[in-house]
Chain A
């Protein structure tokens, strides 16, 4: 974390975050994004945002499950990678699908519910990303920061609805992601209950 020396694992996580982006840039520059590059890019960036959101949410329960408390310290970086791909996702949407037309954008926000929901998730993530600047974290204090960042659960819900509503052809992918999020949240609830019981026992 901030201030401390960055270990090999930190660089591994960083590389893992950057790789999908580099891959996309590579594929795009060699022109093999398929017949509909805009669609390929929105789908890819959206998928990677989901992947990092999943990873981010997996850190806390798995640190308990694997007894590796250090895992939690990579959560913030994974969250920022998620935000990075969400930003790309939004940018590709704005540039290639909306073509930076504000009237179009307004229309999309109002008439396409899955876009409204997706945009809501983007705004929440923006708040989380801004408050993740080290100086702001310190100013807020760890407790308040952690409380604020519980909005990630709202982001998860919005992301899943966004994915389900935009699926026309097959619900497979959206279903799998929603289930995985469900499992991660279930794990949290389970450990939370255990902790409460332990506290009750010691009290």
Chain B
């Protein structure tokens, strides 16, 4: 992996209001969460209680950008806990989120401005909570985020069931600002916080026979209304998969935070895998299982329509799609205004071609391996 020398400072990339807001937030979060962390260290907290939502959570992240957003911010942004991040105070996670390192590797270039948090958290595809873009922000607060365990099994030597806080606790967190390209031809730029998936996979020691990684989103029909809907167009639980070398690629991130704080439930809290060179649906949310296999695992959208959604689903403008034009995309760059969305050219592998194109050498990505 070539280290790219990039001149931009983050303050040039991120809208000023959000940037400053984050700084302000980080200070308060450190104070609040620091207390929680101490409590937790001495075993005083009741952290493992199911469904616990704690009042002394960090301030809603939307607040820093609110002044600029007021007229257009959806009403739900102000009234529901859904727009707050995964706010269960359980461990030192918040402290660690606050203290994450800011990686300049892979950080966006000048073409990309970070999407306002108010858009990234109210315009979501998370069909388990409803099929309208605004449904997840309204309903995802129903998802119980603690306790949460992730099962890692299959062809590995040290698999098991891991409590999320133990799992995440073993890794240093860093911020990566990634482009997110949806197959529906819109895109955002999001500052994720997480760690490289390869570090997680190395810990469980994949066997030589492992060739693929299957991932599964939580299945909780009680909390996720669409999972029991008659009109659902996909089957649940949501499953996704990667080739092992894709999962081991340093760009593939296991995320627990965004915009300097915990993931919001509508964005896939408490743990989401992010694969920035593939269409968004290849990045599963609220993951509960990761399985190493020797066969290409089934993936949800591929099962729904194999012609439209292939296993690879790399962002690849040369392959046309029957519903959306893939040669360009609408980038959401600011809130509300009618003409604040720009249509820009879509780049092969979402602009990460120099990092990942070699994974697909000699493969026909248009007709065969799409």
Chain B hits for A172, CB < 8 A: 231
How far is A28 from B340 in the complex, measured between Cα atoms in Å? 13
> Is B233 a contact partner of A111 (Cβ separation < 8 A)?
no
How far is A33 from B74 in the complex, measured between Cα atoms in Å? 8
B63 in contact (CB, < 8 A)? no
Number of B positions contacting A (CB below 8 A): 34
Interface residues of B in 63-96 (CB under 8 A from A): 71-72, 74
Shortest Cβ distance from residue A203 to the other chain B in the assembled complex, whole angstroms: 49
Given contacts A34-B134, A35-B122, A114-B323, contact A168 B233 (CB under 8 A): yes
Q: Please list the 8 inter-chain residue pairs (A to B) with the smallest Cβ-Cβ separation, ordered nearest first.
A: A169-B131, A35-B123, A170-B131, A31-B336, A172-B231, A31-B72, A35-B119, A31-B71
> Which B residue's beta carbon lies closest to that of A35?
B123
Residue ranges of B at the interface with A (Cβ–Cβ < 8 Å)? 71-72, 74, 118-119, 122-123, 125, 127, 131-134, 184, 186, 229, 231-233, 320, 322-325, 327-328, 330, 332, 335-338, 341, 343
Selected contact of B337 from candidates A31, A39, A168, A175, CB within 8 Å? A31
> Is B336 a contact partner of A104 (Cβ separation < 8 A)?
no
A166 in contact (CB, < 8 A)? yes
Chain A hits for B119, CB < 8 A: 35
Given contacts A30-B71, A32-B72, contact A37 B336 (CB under 8 A): yes
A-B contact count (CB 8 A): 79
Interface residues of A in 24-82 (CB under 8 A from B): 28, 30-39, 41
Given contacts A34-B134, A35-B119, A169-B127, contact A107 B325 (CB under 8 A): yes
Chain A hits for B320, CB < 8 A: 111
Number of A positions contacting B (CB below 8 A): 30
Shortest Cβ distance from residue B258 to the other chain A in the assembled complex, whole angstroms: 16
A138 in contact (CB, < 8 A)? no
29 interchain pairs, CB-CB under 8 A? A28-B338, A30-B71, A31-B72, A31-B336, A31-B337, A32-B72, A32-B336, A34-B123, A35-B118, A35-B119, A35-B335, A36-B332, A36-B341, A37-B337, A37-B338, A38-B338, A97-B330, A107-B325, A108-B325, A111-B320, A112-B325, A113-B322, A114-B323, A167-B233, A168-B323, A169-B131, A170-B131, A170-B229, A170-B233
